[in-house]
Structure 1
Amino acid sequence: MKPLQPDTLIRNPSAPPIVASVVVDCPATRLWSMVGQFAGFNVFIPALTHIEMIGTGVGALRRKFFRDGHCVVEQLNSRDEHAMHMTWTTLYNTLGVARLWAAIQVEAMGTECSRVTWTLVAEPMDAAQAGFEQFLQGFADSALENVRRLLG
């Protein structure tokens, strides 16, 4: 009998990126203090009831709980406080997403103006799932519009 070999279910998705971006009338550091908190997305995503964290820093897991009963578990892959960007991967979800990688980045556009960009690369559980990209685009656009309303 052949010995078991290391394996994993985690792999990066391969799909066209979905990008949402808004310009906010506030300093980049203020914008980053909202969107750069891996444990704080419920502040600008009203569909979330709360987030539970396991661990801190790179490698930490967050469990996002949605008002409609859905749950998502994600791992923080990278985070750079100075450059104001971070990436994460979905490990488990009840939303019909097979694989998802995401990044969020904040750029200063002057002293009182900044841009946040949220990039998602995702594959649906069912390749024939209609409206998957539109769902993700609408979700990200709506979340960032909330950020602009809260900070602008």
Structure 2
Amino acid sequence: MHFSLPDLFPRGLHVERAARLASPADLVWATVGNLADGTIGEGLIERVEVTGEGAGAIRRFHLPGGLSLTERIEHHDPAERCYVYRMIDHGPLPFTRYLGCAQVLAAGPDAAVISWLAMAQPIDGEAEAAQATIEANLDHVMAALKRRFGG
């Protein structure tokens, strides 16, 4: 990835996940890189709404009970199969200043690795809940992509 995540400000939490998928990287990217695709939120979100395209796009995840989370895409690079996003409305989540990066890497002609990084600052007294929430979300993303693409 040519885009480096600058250390814009310190974040207390850092979570990384990666999974091998049994599908070509371009096929996986067609889902992961499509900001309006709801695969990564299957079972957790009701719908995804996207305004704009690529860097600068706004993506809103609509959750049950009328709640939502909103992200701004900071970087979107189809050639590198990666994007960086910043949560701009955290809704009820126990953290703030969330920055994430997803990248799909080729692992041979018929396999890919999905790599996901998330950083955030827990709200005072919420460090354990924030860590658990981010880990559970990324674990959910990995499981959803494995169901879709094999793993």
The normalised TM-score by structure 1 is 0.85
Task: Answer yes or no: is the 8 Å Cα contact 1:62–1:73 preserved in 2.
Answer: yes
Q: State the SS of the aligned residue for 1:48.
A: coil
Task: Answer yes or no: is the 8 Å Cα contact 2:101–2:117 preserved in 1.
Answer: yes
Aligned to 2:20: 23
Aligned to 1:44: 40
Aligned to 1:14: 11
Which blocks of at least 5 consecutive residues in structure 1 are unaligned? 1-10
2:36 paired with 1:33: no
Residues in 1 aligned to 2:25 and 2:55: alpha-carbon distance in whole angstroms: 22
Deviation, 1:84, is 0.4
In structure 1, which of residues 121, 125, 128 is the aligned counterpart of residue 125 of structure 2?
128
Deviation, 1:70, is 2.5
Deviation, 1:127, is 2.1
Task: Answer yes or no: is the 8 Å Cα contact 2:94–2:129 preserved in 1.
Answer: no
Q: State the SS of the aligned residue for 2:46.
A: strand
User: RMSD value over aligned CA atoms?
Assistant: 1.5
For these two proteins, the number of residue pairs brought into alignment is 140
Aligned to 1:69: 66
In structure 2, which of residues 70, 83, 86 is the aligned counterpart of residue 89 of structure 1?
86
Deviation, 1:16, is 4.1
Task: Answer yes or no: is the 8 Å Cα contact 1:13–1:121 preserved in 2.
Answer: no
Which blocks of at least 5 consecutive residues in structure 2 are unaligned? 1-7
Q: State the SS of the aligned residue for 1:127.
A: coil
Q: State the SS of the aligned residue for 2:31.
A: helix
Identity fraction in percent? 21
Residues in 2 aligned to 1:142 and 1:64: alpha-carbon distance in whole angstroms: 15
In structure 2, which of residues 92, 108, 125 is the aligned counterpart of residue 110 of structure 1?
108
**Paired AA for residue 72 in structure 1:** L
Task: Answer yes or no: is the 8 Å Cα contact 1:12–1:101 preserved in 2.
Answer: no
The normalised TM-score by structure 2 is 0.85
Task: Answer yes or no: is the 8 Å Cα contact 1:13–1:101 preserved in 2.
Answer: no
1:42-71: per-residue Cα shift (whole Å, max 9, x none)? 223120111112222211111111124321
**Larger deviation, residues 72-81 vs 14-23:** 14-23
Residues in 1 aligned to 2:18 and 2:125: alpha-carbon distance in whole angstroms: 27
Structure 1 stretches of 4+ with a deviation exceeding 6 A read none
